[in-house]
Amino acid sequence: MTDSVLGQVVASKRVIVCVGSGGVGKTTVSAALALKGAQLGRKALVLTIDPARRLAASLGLSELGNAETRISTDMLRAAGLEPKGELFAMMLDLKRTWDDLIIKRAPADRREAILGSRFYQQLSSALAGSQEYIAMEKLVDLRLNRDYDLLVLDTPPTAHALDFLDAPNRVLDFIGNERVRSLLSPALKAGHLGLKVLNLTGGYFVRTLSRLTGFALLQELADFLGTLAPMYDVFKERAVKVKQVLGSQETAFVLVTSPHPLTVDESAFFHTLLLQDAMPVAAVVANRVNQAQVKAEELAAEQLVALAGKLEGAPTEFSEPAVERLRNAVAETESLARADERQLARLASLCAPTPLVRVPRFDE
């Protein structure tokens, strides 16, 4: 990693959070940052919840699990690297991580009821923000209770920036929704009989919801909220701790993007939200940037043939149409590079003064 901006971030921070749209290369950037930390002598862990297992592929592994896995020094040396520190990686199992949180934090007499509830299954798997929340919860747990010098979080792809920033609030709203709790409070206080009386004596919300969902399901919701109620303060406390760690001077956000116009717009918006939320944004990384090595109009036919001759499997002789096709390909690459540069100039302006780091497109 030759860029001084990212090099300084890796050398000085305890937590790096890589954020951005899906498909821009966050996982690869996250792995590279953690690897650089290990090369600098730090004990580094890169953490992902990517179900496509791109992190394992980036590190040359067949698979990763919910446990922290050390990347062998021999494997790194085989790739021409000489790390002074240690590199670990893990892929979060969302359901298991949620279960571990409940087992650790829930009152002993309520754990089984919570874990067995269908509403808990919704919370731990499908609720908007649940992935982001549990990833941040695990990050904070590792930061406070383990001895890693550097933690790099590869955040899940988000359709909208607010999915990430609002994750703790969405989970808290599900657990402690005041409106639902007030409407169901007689049942929560009186138990099964209270809910039956409420349903029979005029609770419009309850009667309507009961018709739509069935009385048994509504009773189950009341039971679940009652069981989970004592944990609201625990989740609230943890959400505050997450906010403190993310806003710490030892934490840095790296916003990963690409030169695509729509991605630039979304990244600029995300950058604004991060700053408004007082999150420490250290750099914007523009990944897979097209670069023109030469200009088509400056190449003579002989130079094009010489250039093509360097390609693997290229023929020894080229016809005039083949040379022209090569010239068009070089011109197309040059055009793509100019388009990328225009978008990056716009991105740099929108995100100023945050440093913009360019990562060129590499052949697969």
**Segment 238-252, tens digit of pLDDT:** 888 888 998 999 999
How much is the average pLDDT of 25-51? 91
Please tell me the predicted confidence (pLDDT) of residue 318.
56
Whether 45 and 34 have beta carbons less than 8 Å apart is answered as yes
How much is the average pLDDT of 214-228? 67
Strands 150-154 and 281-289: unpaired
CA angle 293, 299, 301 (to 5 degrees): 135
DSSP state of 62: S
Whether 204 has a pLDDT exceeding 50, the answer reads no
Please tell me the predicted confidence (pLDDT) of residue 149.
97
Whether 143 has a pLDDT exceeding 90, the answer reads yes
Return the percentage of the chain with pLDDT > 70, whole number.
72
Whether 218 has a pLDDT exceeding 70, the answer reads no
Whether 252 and 17 have beta carbons less than 8 Å apart is answered as yes
Query: What whole-number distance in Å separates Cα of residue 100 and Cα of residue 263?
Result: 36
- The β-bridge partners of 48 are 91, 154
Please tell me the predicted confidence (pLDDT) of residue 352.
96
Sheet holding 43-48, edge to edge: 69-70, 86-91, 43-48, 150-154, 15-19, 251-257, 281-289, 356-360
Whether 17 has a pLDDT exceeding 90, the answer reads yes
Highest mean pLDDT, choosing among 54-63, 91-100, 323-332 = 91-100
Whether 152 has a pLDDT exceeding 80, the answer reads yes
Domain extent listing, the chain: 4-106+124-171+234-289, 174-231
In this structure, the number of other CB atoms found within 10 A of the CB of residue 183 comes to 18
Whether 257 has a pLDDT exceeding 90, the answer reads yes
Least confident interval from 25-39, 111-125, 264-278, 335-349: 111-125
Least confident interval from 24-38, 175-189, 198-212: 198-212
Residue 197 binned pLDDT confidence (cut-offs 50, 70, 90): very low
Residue 216 binned pLDDT confidence (cut-offs 50, 70, 90): low
Whether 180 has a pLDDT exceeding 90, the answer reads no
Please tell me the predicted confidence (pLDDT) of residue 208.
46
Please tell me the predicted confidence (pLDDT) of residue 201.
42
353: cis peptide before it, omega within 30°? yes
CA neighbor of 210 nearest in space, from 175, 183, 174:
183
Regarding predicted confidence, which is higher, 212 or 359?
Answer: 359
Instruction: Please report the sign of the dihedral spanned by the C-alpha atoms of residue 152, residue 157, residue 161, residue 165.
Output: negative
Mean pLDDT of the chain: 79
Q: Which fold has domain 4-106+124-171+234-289?
A: Rossmann fold (3.40.50)
CA neighbor of 249 nearest in space, from 207, 280, 274, 283:
280
Whether 334 has a pLDDT exceeding 70, the answer reads yes
Whether 45 and 1 have beta carbons less than 8 Å apart is answered as no
Which residue matches tokens 């383990």? 146
Whether 184 and 213 have beta carbons less than 8 Å apart is answered as no
Please tell me the predicted confidence (pLDDT) of residue 202.
43
For helices 204-213 and 192-200, the axis angle rounded to 10 degrees is 100
Query: What whole-number distance in Å separates Cα of residue 15 and Cα of residue 95?
Result: 24
CA neighbor of 21 nearest in space, from 116, 158, 206, 171:
158
Query: What whole-number distance in Å separates Cα of residue 127 and Cα of residue 170?
Result: 8
Instruction: Please report the sign of the dihedral spanned by the C-alpha atoms of residue 141, residue 93, residue 253, residue 291.
Output: positive
Please tell me the predicted confidence (pLDDT) of residue 294.
66
Sequence-distant (6+) residues with CB within 8 A of 340 are 259, 289, 290
Query: What whole-number distance in Å separates Cα of residue 134 and Cα of residue 170?
Result: 12
Please tell me the predicted confidence (pLDDT) of residue 74.
86
Please tell me the predicted confidence (pLDDT) of residue 212.
45
Whether 181 has a pLDDT exceeding 60, the answer reads no
**Segment 261-299, tens digit of pLDDT:** 999 999 999 999 999 989 999 999 999 999 876 665 666
